[in-house]
Chains A and B, each alone.
Chain A
Amino acid sequence: MKPAPFDYVAPTTIDAACALLAEAGGGALVLAGGQTLMPLLALRMSQPFIVVDINRIDALKGVTRVEGGTRIGPVTRQNDIITDTILAEALPGLVTATQHVGHHQTRDRGTVGGSIAFGEPAAELPAAAVALGATIEARSIRGTRRIAADALYLGPYATALEPDELVTAIHFPDWPAGTITLFREVARRPGDFALVGLIGAFAVTGGRIARVGIAWFGMGPTPIRARQAEAALRGQPAAGLDARGVAALAVADTAPFDDHHATAEYRRTVGERIFSRALAEASVLF
């Protein structure tokens, strides 16, 4: 249970980190909070030549308000998300989702960017990024680009990020005042990855659902956006929703699998049930 040998570097600027990643030609891994990468190194499932520790780059930390949204530095600790006053106001759904990530002790180190960039399909934060319409800012020596969270996840732990790219910010757009966020997670024990989970944001104006974003986690190879359910809800009157019908549509977009934690059938059944209950509960608040 000791990591294989590697070179460790801890740059203090984004430029230096990008230069190191470029130079490594794919042989480097980025170390953020380490709550996933360190186990992978210990188990030797990952054997990079170089570990680029980004914890000493201050420019990658903190939460700031920007035009039309909130910018979160990738090395912001998960526990700091939970207590952040800006986020309590702007993104309460993200705060709730973060409360379910790991344990207090892992959230003290674990970061938002690390979780989003790793892309564990049963993790809360990638799904939150998809549901809330986040974009990921990625930088390399070749330039900076923005990737919609929706387009980031290609498969389990596989993302559209290139090996030389560093996540430099996560941008969450503002949702209208009064937006209701639903979060549901079914796990055997607190802190476990979800067997089934969902996060949804609903903005109601003039009695109609004006804007909606829903994503599942633990329901397939990536976080999965419930596109059919979103389409069915968008523009509809918020009163008298067919919660069970929409839940069935939402589950239709998932691709859960059997594993030693639960069967695909179990995940679909539980998913449909928690979705319809959550929507019925939320419709009282619309």
Chain B
Amino acid sequence: MSEHHIAVTINGRLHQATVEGRQVLGDFLRVTAGLTGLHLGCEHGVCGACTIIVDGKAVRACLMLAAQADGTSITTVEGLAAPDGTLHPVQQALRDAHGLQCGFCTPGIVMTLAALMQAPAPATEETLLAAMSGHICRCTGYQGIRRAIRALTARPPGEPA
């Protein structure tokens, strides 16, 4: 069983650690880095709860090895709000629209939406809703999530359609 020294930038801070080859990135982030805002649900890529942003892309933390994250820059839900506590627009939209119930699936949904909002291609209601197929909410709180997406993609008042 191999061990690997990795250096990963997590939420702007460099973390260095030695990990087993088999250690999954999600476990590393929760257990070693202490970022328990990342929720591991199914641990085999189906539920989407563990979605994080790796080098700008929304990926499942349960489907990457920690060793693969060497040299990458990772954002978890802990890294989204401003230092003064001002919520990220995605977090605010979900809060305003009652887009979470028990909250277990929420960190993953937040990270997918945040990744798509900052992607080069413009985020539309259609693309954001389509990406929600990658998340399962067992409270079935999908209507609140839809409302949040609508608010995020609505044009500011006065802007032409």
Contact = CB atoms under 8 A, between A and B. Distances in A.
How many chain B residues sit at the interface, stated as a range, is: 20 to 34
B133 A103 contact: yes
A65 interface: no
Contacts of B63: 34-35, 38-39, 106, 109
Nearest to B56: A108
A43 interface: yes
B137 interface: no
B67 interface: yes
Nearest to B45: A39
B103 to A, nearest CB: 19
Contact of B130 (A43, A83, A190): A190
Interface in A154-204: 189-191
B21 A191 contact: no
Contact of A3 (B2, B22, B116, B131): B22
Nearest to B19: A8
A68 interface: no
What is the interface of chain B mostly: helix, strand, loop, or mixed? Answer: mixed
A102 B130 CA distance: 11
Contacts of A106: 45, 60, 63, 134
Given A39-B44, A42-B43, 19 more contacts: A3-B22, A5-B21, A6-B1, A7-B1, A10-B68, A39-B46, A41-B22, A42-B24, A42-B62, A103-B131, A103-B133, A104-B131, A105-B58, A105-B60, A105-B134, A108-B57, A108-B59, A109-B57, A191-B133
Interface of B: 1-2, 4, 20-22, 24, 27, 43-46, 48, 51, 57-60, 62-65, 67-68, 112, 116, 121, 130-131, 133-134
